[in-house]
Amino acid sequence: MKRIITISILLIINIITVQSCKKGENDPLFSLRTRSNRLSGNWEVVKEEIKETITNNNVGDTSYVINSIYNGTYKATATQYSILDTTFTHHDTIYYKEEIKFTEDGKYFKSFKMSDNSNTIETEGNWIFLGKSEANNLKNKEALLLTTTKHLQTDGTTTNINNYTNTDGITYVINQLKNKELILTVDKTYRNDEGLNLSSISVKTTYEVK
C-alpha cells in the first residue's frame, strides 16, 4: 500500500514538472534540452503570415489592410486601400531568403537577402528571455526581447551601416520551441503622436533548423 502511494506521489510530481517545462502554447510537454540550448543555432524562415491595418484620419477616412504570406521562397502581398467610398487592391510578389542565428551567450544575427541580390539586410544585436507577466498573460521565458545594435543594408553598390544603443527592442512571443522548429508571434497596436493614426500588426513566423 505504501508503495502504491509513493508511486502515485511521484507520478503527480512528474506531471507537475512536465507541465512547468511547457512554456509556449505548442511547446513539447517534455524536453531533455534547456530552453536556451534549443533556441541556440541557425534557423531559416519557412513560413510567415502578416496582417497589418493602418487607419489614417489625417486625410479623411483612409485605411490600408495588408495581408502577406511567405512560403520559404517568395512573399505574396495583397494591399487593400480604402479611401472614402473607393476601395482597390494591389498585389505584389518578392523572392527572398531570411535566416537568424541565436547564440547561447545572448547574441543574434539576422539576414534578409533578395533572390536577385538586389538588396541585402543584416542585423545583429542581443536577445533575452522575458520573465513572467500577469498583465500580458505570459509565463516565464515564454517571450523573447530582441534589441538591435547594428543594421547593414546594401544593394551591391551602396552600403549603409547604422549602430544603435539603448533601443527598446521588439518582443516576440514563443508559440512553439522544439529542437527543429520555432514559431514566433508579434501582435502590436499603436497610434501616432497626434492620436489620429491607428496601426495594428500581427505576425506569425515559422522557422526550421538550417
| Long-range contacts, stretch 103-108, CB < 8 angstroms, 24+ apart | 103/40, 104/36, 104/37, 104/40, 108/146
Would you say 112 and 121 are in contact if contact means Cβ atoms under 8 Å apart? yes
Residue 205: C-alpha distances to residues 59, 69, 121, 141, 175 (Å): 33, 10, 18, 18, 10
Q: Please report the pLDDT score of residue 44 as a whole number.
A: 98
- Lowest mean pLDDT segment, chosen from 4-13, 147-156, 166-175: 4-13
Cα–Cα distance, 113 to 57 (Å, whole number)? 35
- pLDDT bucket at 16, cuts 50 / 70 / 90: very low
Q: pLDDT tens digits, residue range 119-157?
A: 999 999 999 999 999 998 999 999 999 999 999 999 989
Cα–Cα distance, 102 to 106 (Å, whole number)? 7
pTM: 0.82
Q: pLDDT tens digits, residue range 25-84?
A: 666 655 678 999 999 999 999 999 999 998 876 655 788 899 999 999 999 999 999 887
Domain span at residue 136 reads 2-209
Helix (H, G, I), strand (E, B) or coil at 190: strand
Maximum average pLDDT range among 7-11, 25-29, 111-115: 111-115
- pLDDT bucket at 196, cuts 50 / 70 / 90: low
Q: pLDDT tens digits, residue range 84-110?
A: 778 999 999 999 999 999 999 999 999
Instruction: State how many domains the chain has.
Output: 1
Q: Please report the pLDDT score of residue 18 as a whole number.
A: 42
Among candidates 23, 40, 9, 17, which has minimal Cα distance to 179? 40
Cα–Cα distance, 194 to 119 (Å, whole number)? 34
Residue 203: enclosing H or E segment and its boundaries? strand 197-209
